[in-house]
Structure 1
Amino acid sequence: MCFKVVICGAGVVGSSVAYFLSKRGVPAAIVDRAGVAPAASGKAGGFLAKDWNDGTPIGPLASLSFSLHEELAQTLGLDSYRRLSCHQVAVSGPSGSEPKRVDGVEWVDIGVQGHAVMGTEKTIAQVHPKQLTEALMKSALDHGCSFHVGVVQEIKTELRGDSKHVAGVIVDSQFVPCEKVVIAMGPWSSQCTQGLKLPPMLGQKYHSVLMQNERELSQAIFFHGLGDPEVYPRPKGEVYVTGFPDTPVAVEDLPGQEVVRPDVVNRLTETMKLVSTELGRAEVTRYQACYLPISVDGLPLIGKLEEVEGVYIATGHGCWGILNGPATGLVMSELIVDGVAKSVDISPFDPNRFKVFDDMHRVGSSADSC
């Protein structure tokens, strides 16, 4: 059987591509070694900001995707989606004085030095990324797509006249023929191709702690001080705490098997005790870690490769992967079906901007490990 489209990766980007392709009547086969949303798409915070990327190449993509999130939440019935506010709060830690609430700050009451509004319910929202990704995948499967657990080892190409075309992919040492392939494997995208003129994809490791608070909070906080952690309250009292990122590296951990370092998650937990009486007594329910995909120039790779007909890539979204996943899926479906992205200009993310690379820097150096 020759698949029309094979999507490598079942995170939020790959699942979004499958979802929007299925809406166009194009059934895709999605392949992932660890299931649906095994890595960052299951462990990220799901913080959504409409206008924080305004004035940058990502701005139009983010604005479109912010709107798509609300539409998808209604269509897919996502109860984790909601609007909330966001503040930056400067803190110094305990000063010996009694905890004190500050007007405008919902739950930080220790060592507050100042605060500023970063966004209101008009521009800030959130969604649980795992719920979103699984719902996108379920809808895609209900509309003709198929999901396969397997390790994508290589993209095979063939010459047709004077041009190189995709022939298929190698999955678990078996050749799977296809007409088009989409690389959407986040920081592991570098490991499933050989010889393509693309830069290495790196991963930036973030740890996070999940807490269960006694009440539901509705104000996300970006701290200034004490290492600048970030806190995203979720519905039903759950609170997501993250921060203290590692330097971007070539990822060795497998998807879904990211190693959690006790020193980092303990630091996150202890920091909450230094800023909030409320979160200081909240129950810790989970420690976890994930890698955010980082490109060498900081911009995503979204588009079609010129050197091989039928190869597309969508990765490198950094900390805005959950936010920009839906819009990326939409424009990729347009590119595949119509030959051009219509909803937003993706030229700043053209993967062909990396045409000249030394062989040692090309992707595909660890093809068997993805």
Structure 2
Amino acid sequence: MMSTKPSASITSNKVLIAGSGVIGTSTAFFLAKEFGISTTLIDPSGSIAPAASGKAGGFLALDWNDYSSVGPLTRRSFTLHQNIADLLGASTIQYRRLTCASIRVGDGSGRPKGRKLEGIEWAEGDNAMANARSLGDESTIAQVHPKKFCQRMWEHVQSLTNESSLVKGSVVEAVYEVKDGKKQLVGAKLDDETVLEGDALLFACGPWTADNMFGTKYHSLVVPTTKTLSQCVFFSGFGDPEVYVRPDNTAYCTGFPDPPVRVTERPGQEEVRSDAIAKIQKSVEMASSMSDDLLLSTVEDDVLQQACYLPSTADGSPMMGALPDQPQTFVCTGHTCWGILMGPASGEAMANLIARGDSPHVDLTSFDPARFGSLSMVPQSSRV
């Protein structure tokens, strides 16, 4: 299988990763698990998954990206999510299989009430059959808690490689030396002038990664439910809210994304606008016939309110591979709303690319960073 290759494959002893989200922790996970290589994660927050990887819905779909460039990456990653859950313990990361439905609401009739539609947990009403359709069952739909997922993977990395560590800071530049007539990476310089030694460097900072990156801001609220629900819902109408139910009797509600922008807010410090939260709350209340089960009335008290940026490149496709003319320097970002879903396969691919020079499981040709020409890696702190 063809793959994006670095200028020279290396036998790495320590890998530096800028960014501690799902891409960074997944790459560290496979470097440790498959190659015994230790990792230094570098993040301005000093914590695991401070931004979108800790605030996303964690919705996983096997086949929704079929017939697109990320289809094979998605399918590989869906399988890896199950494998990782089996290894780490599904309950520790809230991984489970469940169902998903699309429900049309509105048209002047308000939310549906009355008769329950068999097989559709949320849709009720005399016209429910016409208004609801299945988008997948337990064979194609799953979920995971994103932050718990990243944290548990990192804990496993540390159990396998004693030298792996998390450093607070921002990478401002890669450090190279010429040895035996060849340019080689020897480390990374941080914003406090510290230089960390490393044999390879991966930039995986989401929308803060490079000068061709954008971020789409999503707000969300996580509300308690009166019972454990098992069907994620995409509503059509009343603003098209999305509801991802979780096994801990909560529901993740989102919708109404902002336009894509160059991100200036710091990772983990994204402003949560009260008007955006109120808009999602009202939309879900209007759309859902289950509002008595979703305790939306408690939004001012014990409901988690948050915001994050989903990263995309200038052409909308992920950027994964070796940076042109920058030996042992790599980038992996731009997975849009599918970052959690595609995280494991992306991390596996980057781990293989770094450690052995190829990607045996997924063809990375269409994701080659070289398609953008010369790229500038943007330190996370430089836009603030």
TM-score (norm 1): 0.90
Which residue number corresponds to residue 216 of structure 1?
Answer: 228
**Taking structure 1 as reference, are residues 237 and 139 closer, same or farther at Cα in structure 2, changes over 3 Å only?**
same
Letter of the 1:340 counterpart: D
- Conserved 8 A contact 2:172-2:378: no
CA contact (8 A) 2:101 2:132 kept: yes
Does 2:17 align with 1:7?
yes
Kindly state the Cα deviation for residue 363 of structure 1 after the two structures are TM-superposed.
Answer: 4.4
Contact 1:165/1:310, CA 8 A, preserved across alignment: yes
State which of 145, 154, 167 in structure 2 corresponds to 1:137.
Answer: 154
What's the CA shift string for 1:27-70, capped at 9, x where partnerless? Answer: 11111121101111110000000010111110011001000001
| Pair 1:178-2:188 in alignment | no
Query: Which residue, out of 180, 186, 210, partners 1:167?
Result: 186
Deviation of 1:153 after TM superposition, in Å, equals: 2.2
Shift of 1:220: 0.7
Q: Which has the higher contact order (CA 8 A, sep 6+)?
A: 2
Q: Identify if the C-alpha distance between structure 1 residues 211 and 93 changes in structure 2 by more than 3 Å, giving closer, same or farther.
A: farther
1:368 corresponding residue in structure 2: 382
| Partner SS, residue 131 of structure 2 | strand
1:367 Cα deviation (Å)?
A: 6.2
TM-score, structure 2 as length reference: 0.87
1:187 aligns with 2:221: no
275-284 vs 165-174, which moves further: 275-284
Amino acid at match of 1:105: I
Q: Distance in 1 between matches of 2:186 and 2:203?
A: 14
1:93 Cα offset (Å): 6.8
**Could you list the per-position Cα deviations for residues 317-369 of structure 1 after superposition, in whole angstroms to 9, with x for gaps in the alignment?**
11000001001111111111111001111111111111167xxxx44488635
Deviation at 1:188?
1.1
Per the alignment, in what secondary structure is the counterpart of residue 282 of structure 2?
helix
Could you tell me how far 1:261 is from its partner in structure 2?
1.0
Aligned-pair RMSD on alpha carbons?
2.2
Tell me the SS of whatever aligns to 1:278.
coil
What amino acid is the match of 2:152? A
For structure 1, the residue ranges without an aligned partner over 5 or more in a row are 191-198
- Give the equivalent residue in structure 2 for 1:204: 216
> What do the CA deviations read for 1:76-128 (whole angstroms, capped 9, x no partner)?
11310001111111110773797223343212447966111111111000000
Return the letter of the residue paired with 1:149: K
User: Is the 8 Å Cα contact of residues 26 and 348 (structure 2) preserved in structure 1?
Assistant: yes
CA distance in structure 1 between the partners assigned to 2:197 and 2:160 by the alignment = 21
The CA distance in 1 between the partners of 2:111 and 2:188, in whole Å, is: 63
The number of residues matched between the two structures is 357
Which residue of the other structure, out of 231, 249, 266, is the alignment partner of 2:243? 231
> Retained in 1: the 8 A contact 2:113–2:124?
yes
Inter-CA distance 365–40: structure 2 relative to 1 (3 Å threshold): closer
Secondary structure of 2:209's aligned partner: helix
| Residue among 325, 333, 336 paired with 2:351 | 333
Corresponding position of 1:107: 122
Q: Which residue of 2 aligns with 1:26?
A: 37
Q: Which runs of 5+ in 2 are unaligned?
A: 1-11
CA distance in 1, matches of 2:369, 2:118: 47
Shift of residue 143, structure 1, vs aligned partner: 1.4
Following TM superposition, by how much is the alpha carbon of 1:288 offset from its aligned partner in structure 2, in angstroms? 0.5
| Residue 342 (structure 2) aligns with | 324
Out of 151, 154, 163, the residue aligned to residue 173 of structure 2 is 154
How far 1:306 sits from its partner (Å)? 2.5
**In structure 2, what residue type is equivalent to 1:147?**
L
For 1:221 and 1:255, how far apart are their aligned partners in 2?
28
C-alpha distance in structure 1 between counterparts of 2:107 and 2:154, whole Å:
43
Q: Residue 94 of structure 1 contacts residue 274 of structure 1 at CA under 8 Å; is this kept in 2?
A: no
**Matched position secondary structure for 2:382:** helix
